Structure 1
Amino acid sequence: MLPPEAAPPAIDDLAPLPESEIESGARNAIPDDEPAQDDTDELFEALARAPSATAARPIVARIQRKWMRSGSATVDLLMLRAGTAMKAKDNGLALDLLDMVTRLAPDYAEGWNRRATVFYLKQDFGRSVADIERVLALEPRHWGAMSGLGIIMRRLDRDEDAMRLFEEVLKIHPASENARKAIEDLAAKSAGSPT
């Protein structure tokens, strides 16, 4: 039996897009006015310099939209349907769809990330961790996947590992309120204070 988790970071850290964007669909979440060139490195630099969560929000949204781009209409449709299934809490259907995504597009990090989320929701932490490792191999700066791994480490009472992961998240996304709160809670727990 896993220990209860005190004040976990938001489950949103495991899912790359806000619920409203998942609901509107993967293709609708990517505006046509996005630059065609790959400015991902510049966006991550801007994210690291963002002075507040409010200032970081549009940068986060642009990075997440880039992560959602699979380059395949079929994969985009499967991701859209998987998002709809997740919203309806039909994790079995979501998992079937995401299995297909990872087979069709094994180098598409967001497919693995979304599937890791479903495994987490099913409390299949071993498979979730395996998928998160694949995400991080494909995109080492994926703070959502890193946060997800931190959440799992907390659930498994591996607080030191969780702390290191959330510290890494803050190096990439310093304005992450969820990571900051997790670190505060873990530090308080380590010091013996109630969280």
Structure 2
Amino acid sequence: MRIFVFTLLVLLGAPSAGAQTVPDFGPEAAPPSAEDFSPLPEDLPEEGGQVVVEDTDPDEEKSRLDELFTDLAEVDTPKSAERIAREIQLIWMASGSDTVDVLMSRAGKAIQAEDHGLALDLLDAVVILKPSYAEGWNRRATVHYMREDFGKSLVDIERTLALEPRHWGALSGLAIIQRRLGFETEALTTFRRALEVNPGLENAAKAVETLEKDAEGTPA
């Protein structure tokens, strides 16, 4: 993926690409919106202070995630899929740092208020304080996307997937950017990968259906 991201960055840096207005790509691959970024629970401490990392067992957490992803791939009802996906997301959100949690919560509120500049300032601090925290990179990637800064978004997506290759949000984000830039074959592959780890992604499933029809020359 590193080579592909580098190629996209080169294209994004070209004068003609920077001047283009990218077309809408339809609801079947809808980009994230402010409503997707609920702040963290309100009972989190409001002040930062020292970075406090909880004593967690990385091997135990990884084992639990592996179990959940296995269950998610085999689930047979949407309700069960939603429950398992939510549990995975809660594990992803757990930074182990009170300060990072507060910054993430405030960033979520800033995104909802469409204050992307403030959100980026907060998320810059998150990735500096906790560079091993995949969700910090993923959330910053999404804010970059919302600002249509696809180059920076791709860099953060790559970092997210290096830390958590099964992050379906980052995979979906990558596929959306690939599609917007006209790399439909690559987008189809990436959407399929997202569905492998989380079969309950309705937007990704619709995107795959449309891209497959386009590849076959069949009207969507």
Taking structure 2 as the reference length, the TM-score comes to 0.77
User: Which of 154, 159, 169 pairs up with 1:144?
Assistant: 169
- 8 Å contact 1:143–1:169 — kept in the other structure? yes
Unmatched segments (≥5 aa) in structure 2: 1-19, 45-56
The answer for the alignment partner of 2:72 in structure 1 is 47
User: Which of 91, 103, 107 pairs up with 2:128?
Assistant: 103
Counterparts of 2:88 and 2:43, CA distance in 1: 15
The answer for the alignment partner of 2:88 in structure 1 is 63
Deviations for 1:132-152, whole angstroms, at most 9, x for unmatched residues? 000000001101100000000
Structure 1 residues 1-195: aligned runs within 5 Å: 1=20, 2-12=22-32, 18-19=36-37, 22-23=38-39, 25-26=40-41, 37-38=60-61, 39-195=64-220
Unmatched segments (≥5 aa) in structure 1: 30-35
Taking structure 1 as the reference length, the TM-score comes to 0.87
Question: What is the letter of the counterpart of residue 139 of structure 2?
Answer: R
- 8 Å contact 1:51–1:175 — kept in the other structure? no
Counterparts of 1:148 and 1:121, CA distance in 2: 11
Give the Å deviation of 1:11.
Answer: 2.9
Give the Å deviation of 1:5.
Answer: 1.5
Counterparts of 1:27 and 1:74, CA distance in 2: 14
Give the Å deviation of 1:27.
Answer: 6.5
Percentage identity across aligned positions? 49
Of structures 1 and 2, the one scoring higher in RCO (CA 8 A, sep 6+) is 1
User: What's the Cα RMSD here?
Assistant: 2.1
When residues 104 and 95 of structure 1 are mapped into structure 2, their CA distance, relative to the original with a 3 A threshold, is same
Deviations for 1:109-136, whole angstroms, at most 9, x for unmatched residues? 0000000000000000011010000000
- Largest Rg, 1 or 2: 2
Counterparts of 1:96 and 1:178, CA distance in 2: 30
- 8 Å contact 1:135–1:145 — kept in the other structure? yes
Counterparts of 2:213 and 2:43, CA distance in 1: 42
Counterparts of 2:217 and 2:120, CA distance in 1: 39
When residues 152 and 93 of structure 1 are mapped into structure 2, their CA distance, relative to the original with a 3 A threshold, is same
- 8 Å contact 1:78–1:101 — kept in the other structure? yes
